[in-house]
């Protein structure tokens, strides 16, 4: 990351920090870090020591190194001196190649970012430099639609910014060592190689997946590491940023209610407002025409938007571009323009609009700014007719409290608001009031005193605003769609069905975050909300403990409750006194939204859950302020979005859209976990049966690790509940591991003693000839190869031609090898004792009888156990597998097996929080109307101050 830790999102007003002096466009007396980013792990010089350090932190590699050293002791090793050293060297070589390839991709991405160009003022001339050449104190010109090259301090909204970067044994001892060496292969060294190869190829499968390719930006999915594939299948908590991750940060004016009439019935259309009947009613002097006129005027006048022209010499209205701190305000102004009320110019004193082809100038007397406490904003204007009017827009709850008693459209507008809310739209109520000259003259002095007050200024301004924002006349309501990324609601719904808990961590206001929560289906209309906004440590502690007690026995269990907490409260909640209560409360809720949080708090939350809950965590974001939490989580996913590539470069996996997370987890994650579990268990199984023949059984675990699957990708995406088996580690745990170990020991006993007893009780040939130890050994080896390959067939769920090739090819390869190896001595001085062994073995009738009976006897218990489980205790996975084989729809059985029943305690808890949440609102507004306003608060310049210094009629400077 660039910078010294100052993020773009804030929790509260910035606390005092250490000050430092920066010399603008001049050498710095203090040396600062470079602007070059590096997310790669290695350099040419550091590769070997860092790689070896990383590899020998693994217990398996330390063990095999120890064994290979023991094998160098004369008269101790019963095996060759290099039987472990050579495979270990091969393992390290494969791992090194994999690390080099993955790190090369990181270097290539770093170079792409570092070598981007930006204009920098050097020696009085704007010079195009690479990002990595920019230094602290440089003046930088960032052109529209360009990425910022570093953390920047804004000097001009159009032209100039500068930035700063930051940053001796006895005989018993000999026998014991011999025993260790002899049986070290019970821990399969081939497993290391197989795992590295399988994980690497699994990562390639992710990169090649066309379902995760975003054509619009030509961005494929990228696995930047292959070491975490199995953890993608075990994710329990997802921590997500909002802006740019869940949303496109694009607002569209969709509907409105004016004088009790709804306009804009275009639910199924992608484009914005298109109902021109509103203009027809205005032109035809409909009974509501005067309200329509007032409503549209208010949309064009009541805001802090700044108009700019693409070409300053072009007076065409189509060339106007609206710059707004609130995307909601921009949407309303664009909506007004679409309906013929065009906001054209802003000066420090007034705004000019074109209303139905007629220019009108409104003098801006006062701007009463939006705050999260007021939940509304107003402007006091002098109209072209000389009247003083107040235009106000805000949340329905606060507007309705300030309406005059006589209202024609109160109830019908409220009904429309509820309809808009059920469609996931962000709403605002629109109202106006005419102000008398005398009242205004008195009030403006009160407001001036409040605005110049040195103590409690915000409170006094709110009190002054209350005096004038009263006796309002309701005009109607607007409905804005906050454009989510495509497929986000469906993705979140599916992830929740997979028992994955989703926490949204955002720097936005609480209301905005809640709106998005409803839009993306993280919150549902029937879900009670626990909203915690406290301003002290004591009140936070008391509130958390009260809610913890309300949960009772359901604490730390998932409940249909949403937790909403702001950054100020979170600061206290993460303190030592409250930390455990906050965690207990949070993990008891199905959805958590943390608002106004800083980048540091995002990382702290991830660390808290990762360390305390012992569950696999995943963090996903798209901006530099998300890097901390991405690196703190077990798995980091970066979105290549409009905020740059910092998050993608710092992540383990990079995708272009949030919806691709579904397939990354539910398909690739679950498949990878399933395959690697089978691979590990089967590798131990075959090695314990008889490790010497592992070369002939290496293909089945590879086939398992690469091509086996629980169910088809379509079923994995359609039925997220299938993810739970990997998430809950049902396929690989202590119990499962030892069941496989005991089963392999049982098989190894049968596979050795059955051939031994058969040859002791009967003669091998009719002429009375018997075989030696090599003859018996080849019997055993053959039966082991056949048995372990058939065992692989029993365990494999998805048969492909490659699976068939791996299993039947492994069996055939042993028979071919024995036939060839038995004649090698004729050509090479090697294995004279094996000469003619193929004729002895293949010519023995006992061998062929045993080939049918012994593997069958060894595996009959496995077959019977599998048949019993699939008949009497069928899992969801097995039900879906059977339906897929029959080409039937598994939906009915999935719905039946995943249906949840509420316990009596859960019902009581739900009633408690539902009642609590409803008590926060008036009875007439029980529906959670998400109101649309996301304007920045507590900035260095307030919006009112900003528009007082802006004059869109003047040309902008072209240089310093």
The annotated binding site for ATP is made up of 241-243, 329, 370, 393, 426, 506-508, 596, 602, 625-626
Q: Which two tokens stand for residue 39?
A: 């997310």
Contacts of 797 by beta carbon, 8 Å cutoff, 6+ apart: 708, 709, 710, 711, 881
Distance CA 888, CA 196 (A): 37
Contact (CB, 8 A) for 253 and 478:
yes
End-to-end CA distance of the chain: 29
Active site residue 241: yes
Name the helix (H) or strand (E) containing 851.
helix 845-872
Distance CA 401, CA 111 (A): 57
Name the helix (H) or strand (E) containing 934.
none
537-551 and 904-919 are packed helices; what angle lies between their axes, rounded to 10 degrees? 140
Q: Which two tokens stand for residue 904?
A: 């009596």
Q: Which two tokens stand for residue 943?
A: 């919006």
Contacts of 468 by beta carbon, 8 Å cutoff, 6+ apart: 368, 378, 380, 390, 433, 435, 439, 440, 443, 447
699-707 and 670-690 are packed helices; what angle lies between their axes, rounded to 10 degrees? 170
Contacts of 954 by beta carbon, 8 Å cutoff, 6+ apart: none
Name the helix (H) or strand (E) containing 601.
helix 599-613
Name the helix (H) or strand (E) containing 710.
none
Distance CA 657, CA 662 (A): 10
Write the DSSP symbol of residue 925: G
**Number of residues in the chain:** 960
Q: Catalytic pick from 241, 581, 652, 838?
A: 241
Residues making up the annotated binding site are: 241-243, 329, 370, 393, 426, 506-508, 596, 602, 622, 625-626
The per-residue DSSP string of 628-661 comes to HHHHHSSEEEEE-BTTBSHHHHTSSEEESSTTHH
Contacts of 76 by beta carbon, 8 Å cutoff, 6+ apart: 70, 174, 177, 178, 181
Angstrom CA distances, 736 to 788, 862, 868, stand at 18, 14, 17
Contact (CB, 8 A) for 905 and 750:
no
Angstrom CA distances, 945 to 353, 366, 861, 902, 940, stand at 21, 11, 81, 54, 10
Write the DSSP symbol of residue 525: T
Contacts of 907 by beta carbon, 8 Å cutoff, 6+ apart: none
Burial 910-938 (b: 16+ CB within 10 A, else e): bebbbeebeeeeeeebebbbbbbbbbebe
Residues making up the annotated binding site for Mg(2+) are: 241, 243, 622, 626
> What positions carry a catalytic annotation?
241
């Amino acid at each position: 990351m660039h910078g010294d830790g100052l993020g773009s999102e804030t929790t509260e007003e910035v606390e005092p920090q250490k000050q430092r002096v920066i010399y603008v466009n001049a050498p710095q007396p203090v040396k600062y870090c470079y602007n070059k980013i590096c997310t790669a792990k290695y350099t040419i010089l550091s590769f070997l020591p860092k790689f070896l350090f990383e590899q020998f932190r693994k217990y398996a590699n330390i063990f095999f190194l120890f064994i290979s050293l023991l094998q160098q002791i004369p008269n101790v090793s019963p095996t060759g001196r290099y039987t472990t050293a050579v495979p270990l060297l091969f393992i390290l070589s494969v791992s090194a190649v994999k690390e080099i390839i993955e790190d090369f991709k990181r270097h290539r991405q770093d170079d792409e970012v570092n070598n981007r160009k930006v204009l920098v003022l050097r020696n009085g001339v704007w010079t195009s430099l690479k990002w990595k050449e920019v230094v602290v104190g440089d003046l930088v010109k960032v052109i529209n639609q360009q990425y910022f090259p570093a953390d920047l301090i804004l000097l001009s909204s159009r032209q100039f910014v500068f930035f700063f970067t930051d940053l001796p044994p006895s005989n018993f001892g000999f026998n014991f060592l011999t025993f260790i060496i002899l049986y070290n292969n019970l821990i399969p060294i081939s497993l290391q190689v197989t795992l590295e190869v399988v994980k690497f190829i699994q990562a390639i499968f992710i990169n090649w997946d066309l379902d995760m390719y975003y054509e619009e930006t030509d961005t494929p999915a990228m696995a930047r590491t292959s070491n975490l594939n199995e953890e993608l299948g075990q994710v329990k908590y997802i921590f997500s940023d909002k802006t740019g991750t869940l949303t496109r940060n694009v607002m569209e004016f969709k509907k409105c209610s004016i004088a009790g009439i709804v306009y804009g019935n275009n639910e199924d259309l992608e484009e914005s407002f298109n109902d021109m009947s509103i203009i027809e009613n205005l032109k035809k002097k409909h009974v509501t025409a005067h309200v329509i006129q007032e409503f549209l005027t208010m949309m064009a006048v009541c805001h802090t938007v700044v108009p700019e022209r693409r070409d300053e010499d072009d007076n065409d209205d189509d060339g106007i571009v609206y710059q707004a701190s609130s995307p909601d305000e921009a949407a309303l102004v664009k909506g007004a323009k679409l309906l013929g009320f065009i906001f054209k110019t802003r000066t420090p004193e007034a705004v000019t609009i074109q209303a139905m082809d007629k220019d009108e100038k409104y003098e801006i007397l006062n701007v009463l700014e939006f705050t999260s406490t007021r939940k509304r904003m107003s402007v006091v204007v002098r109209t072209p007719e000389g009247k003083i009017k107040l235009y106000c827009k805000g949340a329905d709850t606060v507007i309705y409290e300030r309406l005059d008693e006589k209202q024609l459209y109160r109830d019908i507008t409220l009904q429309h608001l509820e309809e808009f809310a059920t469609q996931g739209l962000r709403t605002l109520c629109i109202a106006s009031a005419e102000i008398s000259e005398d009242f205004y003259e008195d009030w403006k002095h009160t407001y001036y005193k409040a605005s110049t007050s040195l103590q409690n200024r915000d409170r006094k301004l709110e009190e002054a605003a209350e005096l004038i924002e009263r006796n309002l006349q309701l005009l109607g309501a607007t409905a804005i769609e906050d454009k989510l990324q495509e497929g986000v609601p469906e993705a979140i719904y599916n992830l929740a069905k997979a028992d994955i808990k989703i926490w949204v961590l955002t720097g936005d206001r609480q209301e905005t975050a809640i709106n998005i929560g409803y839009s993306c289906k993280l919150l549902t209309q029937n879900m009670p909300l626990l909203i915690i906004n406290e301003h002290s440590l004591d009140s936070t502690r008391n509130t958390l403990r009260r809610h913890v007690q309300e949960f009772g026995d359901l604490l730390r269990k998932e409940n249909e409750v949403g937790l909403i907490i702001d950054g100020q409260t979170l600061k206290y909640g993460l303190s030592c006194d409250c930390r455990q209560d906050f965690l207990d409360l949070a993990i008891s809720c199905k959805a958590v939204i943390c608002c106004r949080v800083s980048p540091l708090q995002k990382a702290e939350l991830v660390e808290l859950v990762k360390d305390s809950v012992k569950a696999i965590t995943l963090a996903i974001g798209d901006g530099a302020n998300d890097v901390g939490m991405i690196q703190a989580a077990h798995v980091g996913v970066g979105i290549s979005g409009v905020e740059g590539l910092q998050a993608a470069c710092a992540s383990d996996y990079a995708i272009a859209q949030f919806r691709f997370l579904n397939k990354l987890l539910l398909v690739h994650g679950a498949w990878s976990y399933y395959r690697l579990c089978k691979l590990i268990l089967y590798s131990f199984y075959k090695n314990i049966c008889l490790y010497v023949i592992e070369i002939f059984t290496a293909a089945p675990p590879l086939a398992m690790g690469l091509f086996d699957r629980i169910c088809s990708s379509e079923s994995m995406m359609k039925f997220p509940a299938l993810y739970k088996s990997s998430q809950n580690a049902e396929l690989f745990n202590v119990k499962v591991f030892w069941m496989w170990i005991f089963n392999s020991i049982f098989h190894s006993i049968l596979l050795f003693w059955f051939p031994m007893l058969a040859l002791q009780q009967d003669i091998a040939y009719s002429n009375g000839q018997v075989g030696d130890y090599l003859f018996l050994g080849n019997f055993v080896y053959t039966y082991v190869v056949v048995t372990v390959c058939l065992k692989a067939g029993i365990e494999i769920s998805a048969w492909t031609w490659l699976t068939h090739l791996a299993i039947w090819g492994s069996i055939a390869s042993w028979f071919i090898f024995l036939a060839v190896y038995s004649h090698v001595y004729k050509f090479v001085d090697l294995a004279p004792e094996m000469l003619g062994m193929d004729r002895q073995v293949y010519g023995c009738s006992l061998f062929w009888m045993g080939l049918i009976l012994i593997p069958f006897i060894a595996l009959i218990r496995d077959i019977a156990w599998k048949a019993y489980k699939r008949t009497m205790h069928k899992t969801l996975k097995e039900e879906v597998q059977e339906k897929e084989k029959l080409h039937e729809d598994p939906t009915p059985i999935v719905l039946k097996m995943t249906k949840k029943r509420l316990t009596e305690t859960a019902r009581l808890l739900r009633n408690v929080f539902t009642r609590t949440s409803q008590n926060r609102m008036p009875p007439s507004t029980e529906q959670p109307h998400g109101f649309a306003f996301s304007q920045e608060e507590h900035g260095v310049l307030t919006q009112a101050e900003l528009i007082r210094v802006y004059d869109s009629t003047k040309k902008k400077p072209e240089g310093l």
